[in-house]
Structure formats: C-alpha cells, structure tokens
Amino acid sequence: MVFVLKLAVNDLKNIIRDRMFVFLFFAYPVMLIVISRILVHIIAPRIEDMFPIAANFSVVFMFFSIAIPMIYSFIVAFLILDERDEHLLTVLRVMPISRNSYLIYRMFFMSLFAFIALLLFPPLSGLVDDTQFSFPVYIPVAILFALFTPVIALMVSTFATNKVQAFAIFKIGGTVFILPIFAFFLNLGDLKYIFSPIPNFWSLMTLNFVLQNGTIDIVHLVIGFVFHIVLLAVLFYIFNKKN
C-alpha cells in the first residue's frame, strides 16, 4: 500500500510538471462539462428548427463518455513511453518490485480518475434527464468505460516506438472508437452489430440502454467486461514480450 501511494504521488508530480498533462488531467474534463452546458442552454434552443439536437442529447452524452477515458489513457501511454525511454521498465526486472505489479498499477491508476470523471459528468453535463436517469444503474457502466482507459493506453504504448507514432495511433484510434456512435445516431437497427469488433461498442450499447430505459442491459454489460479483460490480457502479454 505504501508502495502504491509513493507511485501515485510521483505520478501526480510528473503530471504537474508537464503543461500538456496538466491541461488533460484537470482542464479537459472541465471543458467537456462547460461545452455540454453551453450546448444545452445556448446552442440547442437556437438551432432546434434546423437540427433537433435536444433529441440527440443521449448521443452527445455517449460521445463525451468515449472522450473521458481517452483523455486519461493518453496520459498513461505517454508516461509509459517516457519510462521506457529512461529504461525504467528494464531496471524493474532486477528490482524487488514486481514488474507486472508496477504495470498493473500504471494501467489502473488513471482508470480511477477516469471513473471519477465519468461519475461526475452526468449530473454536471445537463445532457441527461435527472428524473429518468438511474445513477446506481449507471455505476457499472462507468466502470466499463473506465476500463477502456488501460486498453487504449496499452494499445498505444505496445505498438508505438516513439511519441510521434503514439500521436498517430491516438488519432487513428480516436476515429475508430467514435465510429460506433453512428449506430445510434443513424438508427441502424441490427446493422449496428457491424461495429461489435470495436471494444467500446459494447460500453455504448449498455449506456444507451441505461439512458433510454433506466435499467441495466446485463448481456451487453457482461460481453463488454469480458471483451475488455481479454483484450487487456492479450495486450499486456504483447507489451511484456516487446519490452
């Protein structure tokens, strides 16, 4: 426990030293909340005749729910790349600290902050109907979305050899991970399952059920958790082999 606290304090110091990390860690989640509030109170009423954006608040909410774990995964991936450049991962092989324990901590530390941000977002965003939205039902969905943080971070840090490649993978991944949104925006029906190979599709399916019905879709939730855990195990294995 002391080891974890020391690592957490050290990580927060590293984040504070980097302006980009400070912006992503503190300012970006706040910016998403501000944008959502502006969208609700200023933009939506003005363009209602041209585009009924109020009817698509759930889609906008899902889009922001994808963005939140991606923010924190970016920080994790770049911290790992820095540590790899400094040969810290190699040093851990001869240290009493377990390398796997260190990497597990590294993966899930930022997931905790992603989870907190995901919990705070619904009541602060103004994009959900408080009378229909069930917060206890939403909690396991928020956990599933937070689990997306280490998936992206491992994906980037495994296949990127430098920060330029990491940026490129994030751009490509960001485009791919947004694609399942169109399944709900375009009302594709059963055709939406063409996006099922994309891991966060199952998170979005579960979230959409919560937003529309106020109850949990246990089938899609379980598939989502299994998909993420298997993907994490595979990526973790490849990362260890390469580093």
pLDDT for 163 equals 84
**Rounded Cα gap, residues 84 and 88, in angstroms:** 6
Note the pLDDT tens digit of each residue in 4-19: 677 677 777 777 777 8
Q: How large is the average pLDDT for residues 68-87? A: 83
Which DSSP symbol is given to 177?
H
**Structure-token pair, residue 83:** 């540590």
From start to end of the chain, where are the E strands? none
Q: At which residue do the structure tokens 């529309």 appear?
A: 212
Q: Which of 24-38, 82-96, 116-130, 226-240 has the lowest mean pLDDT?
A: 82-96
pLDDT for 96 equals 57
What share of the chain has pLDDT > 90, as a percent?
A: 28
**Structure-token pair, residue 202:** 């199952």
Q: How large is the average pLDDT for residues 208-235? A: 92
pLDDT for 45 equals 65
**Among 243, 11, 223, 230, which Cα is nearest to 113's?**
11
Count of other CB atoms within 10 angstroms of residue 159:
14
**Structure-token pair, residue 185:** 């925006």
Burial 15-45 (b: 16+ CB within 10 A, else e): beeeeebeebbeebbeebbeebeebbeeebe
Instruction: Look at 35 and 87; give whichever has higher pLDDT.
Output: 35
Checking if the pLDDT of 239 tops 60, the result is yes
Instruction: Look at 241 and 131; give whichever has higher pLDDT.
Output: 241
Question: Is residue 150 a contact partner of residue 77, using CB atoms and an 8 Å limit?
Answer: no
Helix locations, the chain, DSSP H: 2-17, 19-22, 28-38, 44-46, 57-85, 88-91, 99-125, 135-159, 163-178, 181-185, 200-213, 218-242
Q: Which amino acid is at 227?
A: F
Instruction: Look at 17 and 64; give whichever has higher pLDDT.
Output: 64
Checking if the pLDDT of 146 tops 90, the result is yes
Q: Which of 16-25, 156-165, 189-198 has the lowest mean pLDDT?
A: 16-25
pLDDT for 232 equals 92
What share of the chain has pLDDT > 70, as a percent?
A: 85
Instruction: Look at 195 and 109; give whichever has higher pLDDT.
Output: 195
pLDDT for 94 equals 55
User: What's the alpha-carbon Rg for the chain, to the nearest Å?
Assistant: 19
Instruction: Look at 138 and 87; give whichever has higher pLDDT.
Output: 138
Q: Which amino acid is at 142?
A: A
